[in-house]
Amino acid sequence: MIKSIISTCLLCLTMLRAVGALSEVPRTNIQPVGRQRLLSPDEAREVIRHLYIDILERQPDQSALRTYTDELTRAGKDESWLRMVLESSPERHKLVSRRRGRIMAWGLGLTLFAVTGFALLLLYRRFPKLMREICQWVAILLISLICGEMALRLYNYFIPIYIFYDSTYNRFKGRPFAEDWDFQLNSRGFKDLEISQEKTHEQRVLGIGDSFAFGVVPYRWNYHTLLEEQLKKGNLDVEVVNMGIPSIGPKEYLDVLVRDGLDLKPDLVMVSFFVGNDYLDTYYQRARRKWYEYSFVTSLIYYAVRVRPHYVGQVIHGKAKYDDDAASFSEEAFLRIEHQRSCIFIRGNKKLKRVFRRAVDYLVKMQQLCARRGIDFIVVIIPDELQVNTELQHDIMAISSPSRSSMQWDWAQPNTMLAEELARHRIEYIDLYDQFAIVGGKKRLYRLRDTHWNIPGNELAAQIIYERLAPQLVNRKKQ
């Protein structure tokens, strides 16, 4: 017995040493090509694809193709510059880390497999009948899990749902022609009327955002719809296209613009930036999968146990009658959500400073893409309910830290920081905080325990945006 244990330990040590040696993954050497002339667009795209596959082991997405093609064809950059950029990029470091992690995981897995097999062999010799029954039950369980995994993956392939992991924003995008209250999504899965490739109006405004842009209210009460109606009443022939997708963040806003938005040739792009979670969405990168997301079965179990019980209303609107006074979350779940977000309102918070520039970088890239094509760009800064609801502020301060004084909280801090940074980059913005704080003291602008606007909140937002955009669109019409 002792000899067997010692031999097993020696085997584990040998395997771990082998894994350590294999985990040293060499980096790709930088070999400057020395090309000085500007590349043509076709040449640039071939260089980008080649280097992406060589260094990052994947095809470039449309955003990378557009960005780096501009750099290689207009800014005088060459292949050696792009190689150095990709070599030092966070994606490269993540690739190396993942590769090392996979090797370590395989090594540990094989070690555990060997140890478990040895232990089961010893148990089988001592308790043969019991072990036969256990093996039968384990086999049944494994077969059931494999069949369940295959069935869920097949279902998700034909009918994608947000419960299961997807590295793109399509995971949260609406299903084409799906019901949403008394409205039907269009063929692209957006909460708007059918969008034609060619313009049917003099000007086109493209609205990009998360669940605020998509809206929890019916289509006719969404602030994009109301904005379009007010612009038409002001004798402006403007089409406002709502391309909001629930549960996405600044990184995905850029992807939506590149993959779905630019082809529609908008005159103005309006990004709705929600203070409550767009900063933190950038911090908690969605591409980083959680342990349970690797399996569809565990994802479904997690959703059923941890997510679904906290919803009072319907998760997906579907075809139903809308109630503007209905609550969506339990009080406990709602306070927990607001408490998790509240860190960005604490003065001198280091986390906010870390995530701030990441979020702004995506907005700057969007503005640069629009500027090159003569498209106006504006950011609508949407306040969190915690910023305008004094009762909720008292509840969160009591939960967060009773010893922290009210002077340590700055409810306008994230808006002020974002507005200053956008102004520094000469990006136009509309900050809704001041007017929402004034009107919010008189009436409810957010749905009960939901974090999103109700109908009055959408109406107020549409009015504020209209007052700012109407003169800008009139001036653009005259040009």
pLDDT tens by residue, 371-422: 999 999 999 999 999 999 999 998 998 887 666 777 789 999 999 999 999 9
Task: Let me know: does 210 contact 274? Beta carbons within 8 Å.
Answer: yes
* 79 and 187 inside one domain: no
383: number of CA atoms within 13 Å, CB side? 28
* 268 and 374 inside one domain: yes
pLDDT for the residue 28: 34
- Which of the two residues, 273 and 52, has the higher pLDDT score? 273
CB burial readout 246-273, b (16+ within 10 A) else e: bbbbbbbbbbbbbbbbbebebbbbbbbb
Q: Shortest CA distance to 58 belongs to which of 48, 68, 44?
A: 48
Torsions phi, psi for 167 (to 5 deg): -75, -10
| Beta strand 179-180 pairing with 183-184 | antiparallel
Q: How many domains does the chain have?
A: 2
Task: Let me know: does 351 contact 243? Beta carbons within 8 Å.
Answer: no
Distance CA 433, CA 294 (A): 39
132 assigned to some structural domain: no
* 185 and 70 inside one domain: no
* 233 and 328 inside one domain: yes
400 assigned to some structural domain: yes
> Does the pLDDT of residue 15 top 50, yes or no?
no
* 101 and 182 inside one domain: no
* 402 and 287 inside one domain: yes
Give kind and range of the element (H or E) at residue 419: helix 413-424
* 394 and 255 inside one domain: yes
Pick the range with the lowest mean pLDDT from 107-121, 430-444, 445-459: 107-121
Ranges 94-108, 109-123, 163-177, most confident? 109-123
> Does the pLDDT of residue 1 top 80, yes or no?
no
Pick the range with the lowest mean pLDDT from 85-94, 179-188, 410-419: 85-94
Tokens of 6: 């010692």
* 182 and 110 inside one domain: no
Q: Shortest CA distance to 462 belongs to which of 290, 215, 266?
A: 215
* 70 and 183 inside one domain: no
Torsions phi, psi for 191 (to 5 deg): -85, 75
pLDDT for the residue 324: 92
* 91 and 200 inside one domain: no
pLDDT for the residue 226: 97
Is the whole-model pTM more than 0.85? no
Residue 91: domain span: 1-126
Work out the pLDDT band at 299, boundaries 50, 70, 90. confident
Burial of 5: CB neighbours in 10 Å, binned 0-12, 13-18, 19+: exposed
Could you tell me the CATH number of the domain that includes residue 402?
3.40.50.1110
168 assigned to some structural domain: no
> Does the pLDDT of residue 464 top 90, yes or no?
yes
- Which of the two residues, 339 and 75, has the higher pLDDT score? 339
* 196 and 316 inside one domain: yes
What single letter denotes the amino acid at residue 256? V
164 assigned to some structural domain: no
57 assigned to some structural domain: yes
* 191 and 87 inside one domain: no
Final residue in a domain of this structure, among 65, 100, 126 = 126
Q: Quick: pLDDT tens for 136-181.
A: 898 899 899 899 889 988 887 777 666 776 666 777 788 888 889 9
Final residue in a domain of this structure, among 88, 105, 126 = 126
